[in-house]
């Protein structure tokens, strides 16, 4: 059993100049990626993601280019990046998944990218803390401090989300991990509709295959 979740107060914490400076590289990568301006990103970012990019067949020319350059002892990835840029610009949609990105960064992106839509995805912090406690050997005192820090971060992010959702009601939505786990097909349908896309049959089958428990009946 987990204790009831009680939010005593939601406070928007203005980030310090130091914190803003720390987040500048992240903002730069997000902005360049969302606009397919990959030439102005650090090439090492994409070369480190070759394992992930191999899942997408359209990335094959880039993967082959990187491999050939490495085998030839070439370290300039500019040409390979141009191949990836072409793939990006010819795509009907650019999707970027980020983890633990502060919500105060989302406002400037919404302002500068008028076609941007955001899905703010969260999980109940009690579930997160409970999950971490099973794999972490931290002391109880450290665990409590981490929990307090997590809850403060999440409550601050949620306050920013509420402000942004009032200002951009059609461009940011909140999806909960618990809702997605309980009703994956309904949540997926809602998210696809939100980005003006149709939930095709292939995606329906993938969701069913990966979220429905299989039952085997012995004859």
Strand 172-176 relative to strand 118-122, pairing? parallel
pLDDT of the residue at 35: 92
Helix axes 125-133, 140-167, angle to 10 degrees: 150
Which regions of the chain are under pLDDT 50? 1-14, 17-18, 214-219
Task: Give the CA-trace dihedral at 125, 129, 131, 133, to 10 degrees.
Answer: 180
Helix, strand, coil percentages in the chain from 3-state DSSP, rounded to 5? 60, 5, 35
Q: 125-167, pLDDT tens digit by residue?
A: 888 777 766 666 666 777 788 888 888 889 999 999 999 999 9
pLDDT of the residue at 6: 44
Nearest to 129 by CA among 151, 157, 156, 155: 151
pTM above 0.85, yes or no: no
Check if the beta carbon of residue 185 is closer than 8 Å to that of residue 166.
no
How many C-beta atoms surround the C-beta of residue 212 within 10 A?
10
Rg (CA), the chain: 21
Q: Which residues of 167-205 are buried (b: 16+ CB within 10 A; e: fewer)?
A: ebeebbbebeeeebeeeeeebbbbbeebeeeeeeeeeee
> What is residue 120's three-state secondary structure?
strand
- The owner of tokens 């979220």 is 211
User: How far apart are the two ends of the chain, measured CA to CA in Å?
Assistant: 38
pLDDT of the residue at 13: 45
pLDDT of the residue at 75: 65
Distance CA 106, CA 100 (A): 12
**126: Cβ–Cβ under 8 A, 6 or more apart, which residues?**
2, 3, 5
Check if the beta carbon of residue 116 is closer than 8 Å to that of residue 110.
yes
Distance CA 190, CA 29 (A): 28
pLDDT of the residue at 15: 52
């Amino acid at each position: 059993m987990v204790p009831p979740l009680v939010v005593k107060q939601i406070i928007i914490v203005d980030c310090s100049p130091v914190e803003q400076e720390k987040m500048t590289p992240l903002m730069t990568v997000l902005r360049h990626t969302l606009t397919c301006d990959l030439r102005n990103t650090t090439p090492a970012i994409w070369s480190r993601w070759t394992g992930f990019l191999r899942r997408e067949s359209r990335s094959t020319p880039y993967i082959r280019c990187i491999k050939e350059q490495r085998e030839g002892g070439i370290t300039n990835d500019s040409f390979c990046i141009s191949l990836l840029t072409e793939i990006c610009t010819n795509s009907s949609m650019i999707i970027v998944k980020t983890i633990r990105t502060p919500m105060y960064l989302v406002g400037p992106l919404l302002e500068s990218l008028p076609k941007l839509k955001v899905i703010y995805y969260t999980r109940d912090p009690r579930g997160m803390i409970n999950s971490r406690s099973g794999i972490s050997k931290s002391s109880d005192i450290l665990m409590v401090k981490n929990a307090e820090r997590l809850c403060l971060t999440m409550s601050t992010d949620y306050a920013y989300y509420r402000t942004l959702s009032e200002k951009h009601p059609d461009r940011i939505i909140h999806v909960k991990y618990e809702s997605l786990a309980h009703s994956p097909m309904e949540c997926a349908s809602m998210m696809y509709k939100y980005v003006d896309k149709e939930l095709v049959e292939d995606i329906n089958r993938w969701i069913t295959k990966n979220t429905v428990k299989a039952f085997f009946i012995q004859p």
